[in-house]
Amino acid sequence: MNIYFCRQKPISDGGFWHILANLVNKHGLMPKKNFSEYYNSSYTSKMNDVLGSMLRQYAKAIRDLVAKGGCDEDIDNLIQDQMSNIYRVVGICLGIPSETFTWSYYDKDKAFKSIGPVTPKEFYEKHVKPFFNVDDKVCLVSDPRPTFEFGKLFTMDYINDVVGAKNCIFNNQPVELLLDLTAKSIKEGEAVLSSCELSRKYSSWRHGMHLKTSMCVPLPLTDWDAGLKYDFKLLLGVDIETTLSKADRFLYRERSMAHTMIFTGVKTNDDGEVSKLRAENSWGEDCGDKGYITMTAEFFKEFTIELVIDRKFVPKEVLEVFEQKPAVIPRWYSLASR
Same domain, 206 and 321: yes
Same domain, 293 and 175: yes
Give domain status of residue 119, yes or no. no
Q: What is the pLDDT of residue 1?
A: 57
**Pick from 79, 101, 123: which residue ends a domain?**
101
DSSP 82-122: HHHHHHHHHHHHH----SSEEEEEE-TTS-EEEEEEE-HHH
Q: How many domains does the chain have?
A: 2
Identify whether the C-beta of residue 258 lies closer than 8 Å to the C-beta of residue 305.
no
Same domain, 215 and 315: yes
**Pick from 51, 79, 101: which residue ends a domain?**
101
Give domain status of residue 112, yes or no. no
Identify whether the C-beta of residue 246 lies closer than 8 Å to the C-beta of residue 144.
yes
Domain of 88 in residue numbering reads as: 2-101
**Pick from 78, 101, 124: which residue ends a domain?**
101
Question: Domain holding 183: CATH number?
Answer: 3.90.70.10
Q: Note the pLDDT tens digit of each residue in 288-320.
A: 777 888 888 888 888 888 999 999 999 999 999
Same domain, 227 and 307: yes
For the beta carbon of residue 46, count every other beta carbon within 10 angstroms.
Answer: 11
Give domain status of residue 80, yes or no. yes
Question: Measured between alpha carbons, how far is 259 from 172 in angstroms, rounded to an integer?
Answer: 19
pLDDT tens over the chain, length 338 residues: 556 666 667 777 777 888 889 999 999 999 999 998 888 888 888 999 999 999 999 999 999 999 999 999 999 999 999 999 999 999 999 999 999 999 999 999 999 999 989 999 999 999 999 999 999 999 999 988 888 889 999 888 777 778 878 788 889 999 999 999 999 999 999 999 988 876 545 444 443 444 443 333 333 444 555 444 556 777 788 877 667 788 877 777 776 667 788 999 999 888 888 888 888 877 777 777 778 888 888 888 888 889 999 999 999 999 999 999 998 887 766 665 54
Same domain, 95 and 143: no
Q: Note the pLDDT tens digit of each residue in 119-151.
A: 999 999 999 999 999 999 999 999 888 888 899
Give domain status of residue 123, yes or no. no
Q: What is the pLDDT of residue 293?
A: 82
DSSP 5-42: HHHH-S--S---HHHHHHHHHHH----GGGS---HHHH
Q: What is the pLDDT of residue 42?
A: 81
Same domain, 161 and 54: no
Same domain, 53 and 141: no
Question: Measured between alpha carbons, how far is 13 from 156 in angstroms, rounded to an integer?
Answer: 18
Same domain, 312 and 208: yes
Give domain status of residue 53, yes or no. yes
